[in-house]
Amino acid sequence: MACLNCNEARTEYSFDALEVHTLHVRDFGGERVIQALGERVTFEVCGACASEEVRASLFPAVRVLRKCWGFGVVLAVGAVLSLTLTLSDEMIALRVIGPLGVFVGVSGIVGRVREVLARRKVLEAMSESERLRDSAWVCALRNAPKKFGDNDITYIPINSQTMSMTEAELSDRYNLIPAIASLARKNLWTAG
Ligand SMILES: [Zn+2]
């Protein structure tokens, strides 16, 4: 099996995971969630991709720019509208758009920067080998299929940590409905 990220044949990290399929159904009664366990899958990631992911998380300037540029545009347009529309005698509703853009832009940037810095903090607390393995998993998740038809696919890693989780912990961590948390729990018990 090749690296999920770059197709390199020689891989260093291998992960087993359970697929969770989730379908959101909207009908007259509101929104319902239908969930099922899917296949057991294996992901492999090479050492180079894991190292690159660690580097990008520890020195996140490029990542911050990539995640924030869209909000930067919203912020800039909002600022321009705020300045021009307040000078003219436009409708009051239109005048709200500028400051709203500024607000959405600023809060978006703050949120993304926080997210990137929180990830860096988590990695900084780990040993080098834990860092590489955790980053390889993040890299695998980024490249793993996220859709199957209309279903959203998420993954529960099969490892010592998830195997020792209770149904409530699994449900909370992986957004599972109670029946599926119970089924996942049983699957994880037998997976080891
Ligand atoms: Zn790779």
Q: Is residue 6 part of a domain?
A: no
Ligand 1 centroid–CA 44 distance in Å is 9
The model's pTM is 0.80
Q: Is residue 102 part of a domain?
A: yes
For the record, the structure tokens of 171 come out as 């449900």
pLDDT category of residue 87 using cuts at 50, 70 and 90: low
Ligand 1 centroid–CA 102 distance in Å is 39
- Tell me: pLDDT of 141 over 80: yes
pLDDT, mean of residues 133-138: 96
Ligand 1 centroid–CA 81 distance in Å is 45
Ligand 1 centroid–CA 87 distance in Å is 54
Contacts for 141 with CB less than 8 Å, ≥ 6 apart: 155
| Better-scored residue on pLDDT, 80 or 6 | 6
Ligand 1 centroid–CA 48 distance in Å is 6
- Tell me: pLDDT of 113 over 80: yes
In terms of Cβ atoms closer than 10 Å to its own Cβ (0-12, 13-18, 19+), residue 191 is middle
What pLDDT shows up at residue 119?
A: 94
Q: Is residue 189 part of a domain?
A: no
pLDDT category of residue 106 using cuts at 50, 70 and 90: very high
Rounded to the nearest integer, the mean pLDDT of the chain is 91
Q: Is residue 65 part of a domain?
A: yes
Q: Is residue 27 part of a domain?
A: no
Q: Is residue 182 part of a domain?
A: no
Ligand 1 centroid–CA 133 distance in Å is 13
Instruction: Quick: pLDDT tens for 35-49.
Output: 999 999 999 999 999
Q: Three-state SS for 39?
A: strand
Ligand 1 centroid–CA 10 distance in Å is 8
Q: Is residue 1 part of a domain?
A: no
Task: Give the number of domains in the chain.
Answer: 1
Ligand 1 centroid–CA 132 distance in Å is 12
pLDDT, mean of residues 136-141: 96
What pLDDT shows up at residue 72?
A: 93
- Among the residue ranges 55-69, 77-91, 100-114, 126-140, the one predicted with the least confidence is 77-91
Q: Is residue 91 part of a domain?
A: yes
What pLDDT shows up at residue 34?
A: 93
Range of the domain at 79: 57-124
pLDDT, mean of residues 50-61: 93
Instruction: Quick: pLDDT tens for 165-186.
Output: 999 999 999 999 999 999 999 9
pLDDT, mean of residues 57-69: 88
Ligand 1 centroid–CA 134 distance in Å is 14
- The CB density around residue 175, as the number of other CB atoms within 10 Å, is 15
What pLDDT shows up at residue 90?
A: 61
Please give the biggest Cα pair distance in the chain.
70
Ligand 1 centroid–CA 12 distance in Å is 9
Q: How far is CA 20 from CA 39, 75, 151, 171, 177, in A?
A: 8, 37, 9, 12, 11
